[in-house]
Amino acid sequence: MTKYNGSGDAGLKFPVSVAHVPSKGLTIKIEADEKERAQLAKNHELISVGSFTADFVITQWKKDGIKLRGHIEAQIVQACVATLEPIEAQISEDVDTVFVPENSRLARIRLDESGEMLIDAEGPDMPETFEGDQIDIGAVAEEFFELAIDPYPRKTDAEYIEIIEEDDEEVEDDVKPDSPFAGLAKLRDKN
C-alpha cells in the first residue's frame, strides 16, 4: 500500500506511473494535510475542509489502461445560499473510472452509419484519457470531491427572501445612475 500525506502545493497531487502498476493492483491512501485542505476550501469556495481522505485501488485494465476504484470521505463547511451561515456537510463519494492512453482505440467516440455519436445511457462511461505514462490520482480525487459538493447548500430553517428587480422603464429619470459619459460631460461643461 502506498500512503500519501500531503504535497503542499495547490490542490491535491499524487502522480502514479501507469507502467508500474502491479498485476495484483496498487492500494493508495490520500490524506490531505492542513495546507491542502485550506487549498481545497479555496479552490471550491468552501468555508473550510475539516478532513479529506481518499482510498483507492488501481488495477491494470485491458492492454494499457488502468481502473481506479475507491472512496472519498471529507468533512466540509459551506455557506448557506440564503443566509450565508455556515453549514457542515459530509462528503462520501464512490469512485469507479477507467483511464486509457489518449491514442487508444478504446478512447475513440463511437459513431453510427450517419456519423451520429452513440451513447448508451445505461452502459459504462467512456474511458478517461491520459498523456504520457502518469495519472495524477490526486487531481482525480479532487474532481470527484467537487462533483459531490452541494452547489446550493441551504439551512433547513432558512427563510426564502424574494428579490424583486425593477425594470428600467419603472425607474424614474432622477433615480437612474449616471452613465460614465454623463460624468465626462459634466467635467467638460465646467471647463
pLDDT at 82: 84
* CA-only gyration radius of the chain, Å: 25
Q: Answer whether 8's CB lies under 8 Å from 38's CB.
A: no
Q: Is residue 99 part of a domain?
A: yes
Is 42 inside a domain boundary?
yes
8 Å CB contact between 56 and 68: yes
Q: Answer whether residue 180 is part of any domain.
A: no
For residue 184, being part of any structural domain is answered with no
Res 40: pLDDT: 95
pLDDT score, position 107: 56
Residue 45 sits in which domain range?
Answer: 2-166
Q: Are residues 105 and 129 in contact, defined by beta-carbon separation less than 8 angstroms?
A: no
Give the count of domains, the chain: 1
- Can you read off the three cell numbers belonging to residue 152? 446550493
Other beta carbons less than 10 A from residue 74's beta carbon: 23
Task: Decide: helix, strand or coil at residue 105.
Answer: helix
Cβ atoms of 74 and 145 closer than 8 Å:
yes
The model carries a pTM of 0.69
Would you give per-residue pLDDT tens digits along the chain (191 residues)?
Answer: 433 344 444 478 898 888 888 888 999 999 999 999 999 999 999 999 999 999 999 998 887 788 999 999 999 999 998 888 999 999 999 999 988 887 766 555 555 566 665 555 565 566 777 788 888 999 999 999 999 999 999 888 766 556 666 665 555 555 555 666 666 666 666 66
